[in-house]
Each structure stands twice: as structure tokens, then as C-alpha cells.
Copies of this chain bind each other. A is one copy, B any other.
């Protein structure tokens, strides 16, 4: 018996596998051969041209940057190419966004992140015919280093972000070549929805975008969305750290599926099974019982829900808060709403460029909020909905369409895109929710909404082991599975409340986008696990 057989593969299987591997290798070899051929052709063309090419050392394809040398050469960023740099000779690294040959000239648009600049090569003293041809033949999305003189222009270049200057190229070298055939065109990917249809131009559908995310993320819209999202995280944490919160790290692999075990992913864990945490809540609460008083965490949250909607992901980023309070859970609501307001203000004041960039492709109204934040009771919301013709019971949960409608009604009445809905019916909340002391039908729990969609769910938690046991039994939860959780409250526990915010939803709704996949770099849903 061969070693491989011991590991379980039959000889036939092995042969099939090695055939497959062989085929793959052949394919790769063919590909390599083709590429070599192409490069040889390019090289021979260049050689041919060299004889009468005075500019032959001013352009070409660089060897792969393998850290061969520490070159003492400053690279200027595209965004820094302004009239103050006029007449300076500089080096720039950028991608070829577009390229257009016109007689003895070649116009390039060079791009770095969301910034673009026009560059010009013209046959003359500094560029040969061959050099201009070389530039004109470069594939879009290739990365190049150019040496150029910055020139002020008479007429603004409307198609570029740097409208007042252009580059007169003197040297041009390829750092990384792109394949000629792109899976999607960047100009199609930033075209506003609808505009494509009208003018017979292409737009790019969502699956094509996500399948080719590396290219789709290069668009001005994507660059803006994810820079702003980075800002949301930063504002969230900075605000909380200023308020005296401590950042914690909670485990994602857990031994027991909390809350009954529905919608939870199972993990093989050595010789046993484990689960992926649906929220860090139980751990946040343990930190409160361990006297950290005010804690937050930012991390992945997993939901095995087979929901294929515009706002559900199977993995998303939770911005989680938990906080001990003195006498009333509204102390915590106030802390959370103030944090949200600081985020909204920070985005408005520091990310205006990004907001406007996204609006070009996806127009939306500026996000409105009040100070202090509007807080409505569930009862009031039900009354508003009923007045608008909705039929619903006092203790019935809000459906998604009713949440949307409520959002519109609140916007009309109070002119805000952000509000808190307080005092949910006890029946529609999890077992660890503190009942309202004055009305057994309700609870000390709340949701927060942006543009009529829920972004946070939270509550005062039951901090008494006895009451928690009763509530868990009432919900039919196996006490054995939540023993460690309940035991956490046996040795003195401060009253506390908290909540979890969905990062992708906050970004989506702040920007007025319509699909959470636009604000998740590599979204996961029941049908998508790649890239």
C-alpha cells in the first residue's frame, strides 16, 4: 500500500487527479508561452525601432519591482497636482484611466484613487514617434511611472478632478501591466442608474461588480463609500473613548448557541462542534459584570438566516455598546444617540467630498438629524401608523414596510432621518430584556432608525439571575445552555443597557444607498461566499 493510499485516495482517483493537474499545468504553460511570445514581439518591435529612436531610454516596461534598489525619487500624488506646481518637473505613479491617440499626439487620463489628471505625449524634441505609439498602446488600468512637466491650462479640463493643469510627459515606464480585456469598464460602473438606459450606454449589474470586486472598488464611488465607512468606525470609537468607554475583544467561536440556537452557523472544533457568535452581547454583559462599566467592540457578527433582501447579510460588522447606568436606562439611550449624532456631524464635516462623489452616481437628500435626538414611544408610533390607515395590534411587531412608513411619517412631522423608538412590547423582544416596571405588556427596550430602517436594537438587560431564569423559562430556553451567562449575574451586577449597530446599514442609510452589498467590501449572503 502506498502512502497516498493510506490517506484514502484510490489509484484511479489519483490518476484522474494527476491528469487534471497535468492539464492545468499544460494550460498554464500555454498561457506563459503566449505571454512570452507577446513580450518577445514587443521587444522585437522595440529593437526594430531602436535604431532610429533617439528616445529609446525614455520609455519601456520596467522589470517587476522586486525591491532591487532604494531609488531616491519622490513621487507626487495626482491629487497634489495643482497650479502651484506649474513648470515643475515631477514623477507621478498612476493608472492609465483612458488613452486616446490623435495624429502625432497621445492623450492619457491618469488616475490615482478618486483623482484624475490629463497627460500629453507629442512627437517632438522629447518624444519620438515610437514612444508616442508605445504610450498609445498601453492597456487601460496598467500602472505607470511618468516624468513630466506640470503645465497650467487655459481652459478647465472638465473630465478630470485636476482641472487646472495637465502633464507634458517626458518619460513613461510601465510598473504593472493590466490584461487588455477588463471584466468591467470603470466608466460604466460609475454611471448613474437609469442614465445608461436612456442613452443606450451600459451600466454594470451588481453580481458583475461583486464578482470583480477588485476592479469595482477602484471606482470613485467605491473609493468614497469605503473611505467614509472607515470614518464611521473612527468616529464611533473616538466618541466612545472620549466618553470613558473601554474597547473589548469578544470571542466569535462559542460553545453554545444562545437564544435558542436558531440562525446560527456550526463550526467543527477539533473533536467537537461549536458555533459562530450571533452577537457579542453576552460577552459585553460579562464585561459589565466585571466592572468595566462602559465597553464597546467592533467586529464581525454572524447570522445563518436565509434572508435574501437588500439589507441582510450573513456576516456583517457590529458596532456594539454596553454600559452600566445609575438609575434609568435612558442614560444609556442618551449616550448612544449622542454617539450617533457625533458620527453624523463628523461625516458631514469631514467627508463632504466623499458624500458628493457618491451622490453623483446615487443622488439622495442630505441626512437630517435633531439635537437632542427624537425619542418616541412604541405606543405613539402605533398611533401614528393607525392614523395613516395601518391596522395593527398593540403588541404586534413592526413589519419592514410599516417601519419604512413610520420613517416617512416621522420625517414629515419632525423633519429628522434619525430617531429612537422606545418601550417595545415585551412579547417581541428576547428573554434578557428588562420588563417595563409600570406596564407588564411593555419593556425597557428600543430600536434606532435611519431613513426608516432599523440600524440598532437594544435594551436594558435583566441583571438579576432569578428574574433572568424566569424569563428564559418563559421563552422555553434550555437553562443548561445559558448557565454561564446566568451565573455571571450571581456575584453582584450593576443595572445596564446597550445595543448593537450594523455598520454596513449605517453607511448605506447615511448615504441614501439602497443595498447593503454596496457598503460591504466583500459581502456574504446565502448565495455569495466569494471573492
- B250–A226 CB distance below 8 A: no
The segment from A367-375, A376-384, A522-530 that touches chain B is A522-530
The segment from A252-260, A405-413, A447-455 that touches chain B is A252-260
Residues of B close to A524: CB separation below 8 A: 251, 253
The tally of residues in A whose CB lies under 8 Å from a CB in B reads 120
- B300–A300 CB distance below 8 A: yes
A376 to chain B, nearest CB (A): 17
- A71–B178 CB distance below 8 A: no
A16: Cβ under 8 A from any B Cβ: no
From B64, B227, B437, B463, give the contact of A464 (CB < 8 A): B64
With contacts A326-B73, A473-B25, A529-B269 known, is A291 near B249, CB below 8 A? no
A239: Cβ under 8 A from any B Cβ: no
The segment from A52-60, A149-157, A216-224, A508-516 that touches chain B is A216-224
A276: Cβ under 8 A from any B Cβ: yes
A:270-308 near B, CB below 8 Å: 270, 272, 274, 276, 283, 286-287, 289-293, 298-300, 302, 304, 306
Whole-angstrom distance between the alpha carbons of A144 and B28 in the complex? 72
A467: Cβ under 8 A from any B Cβ: yes
A:227-262 near B, CB below 8 Å: 227, 229-230, 233-234, 237, 241, 246-256
A521: Cβ under 8 A from any B Cβ: yes
- B491–A274 CB distance below 8 A: no
With contacts A226-B246, A246-B227, A247-B230 known, is A70 near B300, CB below 8 A? no
- A252–B315 CB distance below 8 A: yes
A314: Cβ under 8 A from any B Cβ: yes
Copies per assembly: 2
A465 to chain B, nearest CB (A): 9
Whole-angstrom distance between the alpha carbons of A437 and B494 in the complex? 61
Whole-angstrom distance between the alpha carbons of A116 and B287 in the complex? 19
With contacts A250-B521, A292-B226 known, is A493 near B143, CB below 8 A? yes
| A residues neighboring B (CB under 8 Å) | 24-25, 28, 32, 35, 64-71, 73, 75, 93, 95, 112-113, 141-143, 175-179, 182, 213-218, 222-223, 226-227, 229-230, 233-234, 237, 241, 246-256, 265-270, 272, 274, 276, 283, 286-287, 289-293, 298-300, 302, 304, 306, 314-315, 317, 326-330, 434-435, 437-438, 444, 460, 463-464, 466-467, 469, 473, 479-480, 484-485, 487-488, 490-495, 503, 520-524, 526, 529-531
- Beyond A67-B434, A143-B494, list 19 extra A-B contacts (CB 8 Å): A64-B463, A66-B434, A67-B444, A178-B492, A179-B490, A213-B286, A214-B488, A218-B291, A230-B246, A233-B247, A249-B317, A252-B302, A266-B268, A267-B267, A267-B276, A269-B314, A286-B522, A299-B299, A484-B530
